[in-house]
Structure formats: structure tokens, C-alpha cells
Amino acid sequence: MSRDPAGGRARTGEAEGADAAAWRDDVARIREAGPRHILFLCVANSARSQMAEGIARSLAPADVRIASAGSQPTRVRPQAIEALREIGIDITGQSAKGMDQIEGIPPEVVITLCAEEACPTWLQPTLRIHWPLPDPAGAGSTPGEEMEAFRAVRDELLARLRALFEGREPA
């Protein structure tokens, strides 16, 4: 069993294996598409999608545009900034954006990251991928437990995005 990124619930190896197989298939589909623009979507564009954007920017080739947005953008959570700072990625220059603020070439891949809530829908033609990661904001009963939930989601995103951009499977 391993800890669930939500911050404490255990998952069985069987469920974890199915989840890993699904996202590895997604990685193969994204690679096959050869996108020049990848968009990460959530509702608030404050935690998961911001961390995904920061990690992807640090790993993607320079000619791949990386963006994130939300259907109801708020602000980048300080815990997301801290979780990425801990691994050497600075997202202090990122801001929460609405879906209508995505400019330039349309994304060839849209990855939604919602789990508990209804995800925004990108209506333009694109490869749609869904990685249902739990919202770390408000997870746990203490600020420390919430920060652990941010780290768990960060680590899951890092594993998936390394597999996508570096071709490395997680250990």
C-alpha cells in the first residue's frame, strides 16, 4: 500500500497499478501527438495546475509552450509555491488565469487535474487527458498535513511529467 496524494488514505497496490498503467498510456498518447502547446486545467488554477505548469516548464523542450488555467481562477496558493521551491522550481512569477486568457496557438493537449469537483471543459479540438489528482488545498487537519498533501501531489505530477518529457519511469 502507498499513501494517497490526498494526504493519508491508503491505496491498494492493485488500484495503484491500474492508475499507473492509465497515466502511462496517457503519456504515450501525448508523446505520439507531439504537442507544441500543453494546457493544464483545474477549477481555481491555484494548486495542481500551477504545480503542473511549473514542473512541465522545467522539463519540457524549449519549443513546447506550457500553460495552465482555470474555469474560476483565484490566486496561486503559497503552499504550491513552497512545494515547488523545495525541489528548485520557482513559480512566483506565475498567476492564476482564466481559460479565456489562453492565447497564441491552441493547445494540442489539455490535461485536466480535477478529482473531487467538476473539471472545466476545453471546447476546442484537442487531445483531452484526465489525471484526477486530489485537491491538496484544505487537506488534512493541520497546516503540516496540508503541506504534505501538496508535496504528494507535486511528487505525483513530477513522476508523470518526467515520464513524459524525460522518458524516465518513476522509481
Enzyme catalytic residues: 42, 114, 119
| Amino acid found at 111 | I
Q: How far is residue 66's CA from residue 34's CA, in Å, rounded to a whole number?
A: 13
Cα–Cα distance, 117 to 25 (Å, whole number): 24
Pairing of strands 37-42, 109-112: parallel
Per the CB < 8 A criterion, the answer to whether 129 and 30 are in contact is yes
CB 48 within 8 A of CB 116: no
Neighbours of 124 (CB within 10 A): 9
Beta strands 2-3 and 10-11, pairing class: antiparallel
- In angstroms, the Cα distances linking 14 to 40, 56, 91, 152 are 27, 28, 35, 19
